[in-house]
Amino acid sequence: MAEQAVTDSPDHVAGDGVRRRDFINIAAVSAAGVAGVSILYPLISQMSASADVLAASSTEIDISAIKPGQAIKGVFRKQPVFIRNLTPKEISEANAVSVSSLRDPQTLAERTKEGKENWLITMGVCTHLGCVPLGAGEGETKGEFGGYFCPCHGSTYDTAARIRKGPAPKNLEVPKYEFSSDTVVKIG
């Protein structure tokens, strides 16, 4: 294309290559393009999470009062986090499931810390569209698989908080956490 223009141009002198005017044209448009993109970058980036939102990134929660079969809701990044003390029956139910049959295949062991398999810590955020599933609070339905049930679109999770039925694509997310002591867990 450029060569075509060069050969066609009446003021072209053989061997000169690109005309000065072509060069100025391309350089000017390129510079304007780069400038345009660099103006766009801050305009887009300003919409991402701001520093104060990112700073509120870890929480410590006391778990000493949670008896087997109970759960509490904590807050992590302004979203609920479920901390659940599984009963031996719930643990064996979770282990009895064939992992390959799951939509998001994971074992209970992969979703808990070693030696603390009864502590199931997940985000309380349905992986479908972000509602808070029921099942952590006293008296709430746990759904047909004994874990959590999302009332918005009917996603049902089992006792390892794995998706078993409904539209959600993933298991409830396990956040990064560690046990600061036997009774305190630090999330984030």
Partner 1 sequence: MSFPWAQQYKPVNPFMRWMDEKLPLPRLVYNSLGAGYPVPRNLNYFWNFGILAGLCLGLQIVTGIILAMHYAANAGVAFDSVEHIMRDVNWGWMLRYAHANGASAFFVVIYIHIFRGFFYGSYKAPREMVWLLGVTIFLLMMATAFMGYVLPWGQMSFWGAKVITGLFSAIPLVGDPLQQWLLGGFAPDNAALNRFFSLHYLLPFVIAGVVILHIWALHIPGSSNPTGVEVKSESDTVPFYPYFVAKDGWAVGAFAFLYCLVLFFFPNSLGHPDNYIPANPMSTPAHIVPEWYFWPFYAILRAFTADFFFIPAKLMGVLAMFSAILVWFFMPWLDRSPVRSGAYRPLYRKFFWVLVLDALVLGYCGGAPAAEPYVMISQIAAIYYFAHFLIIVPIVSAIERPDPLPTSITEAVLGKDENVPLMASPTAPFPGTQHSNA
Alpha helix stretches (DSSP H) within the chain: 2-8, 20-45, 51-55, 88-96, 108-111
Q: Is 175 in the site for partner 1 (CB under 8 A)?
A: no
Assess whether 12 carries a catalytic annotation. Answer: no
Are the beta carbons of 108 and 117 closer than 8 angstroms? yes
Place of tokens 């064939």: 98
Q: Which helix (H) or strand (E) holds 61?
A: strand 59-62
Q: Does 102 bind partner 1 (CB under 8 A)?
A: no
Which two three-digit tokens encode residue 159?
Answer: 């006792």
Q: Does residue 43 touch partner 1 according to CB under 8 A?
A: no
Site for partner 1 in 119-148 (CB under 8 A): 127-133
Least separation in angstroms between CB 148 and partner 1: 12
Within 8 A by CB and 6+ apart from 67, the residues are 85
The reply to whether 153 sits near partner 1 by the rule CB under 8 A is yes
* Interface with partner 1 (CB under 8 A), residue from 6, 12, 66, 151: 151
Selected catalytic residue, list 21, 116, 153, 176: 153
Selected range binding partner 1 among 25-33, 42-50, 88-96, 107-115, rule: CB under 8 A: 42-50
Number of H helices, E strands in the chain: 5, 9
Using CB under 8 A, list all residues that contact partner 1: 44, 47-50, 53, 73, 75, 77-80, 103, 127-133, 150-154, 166-169
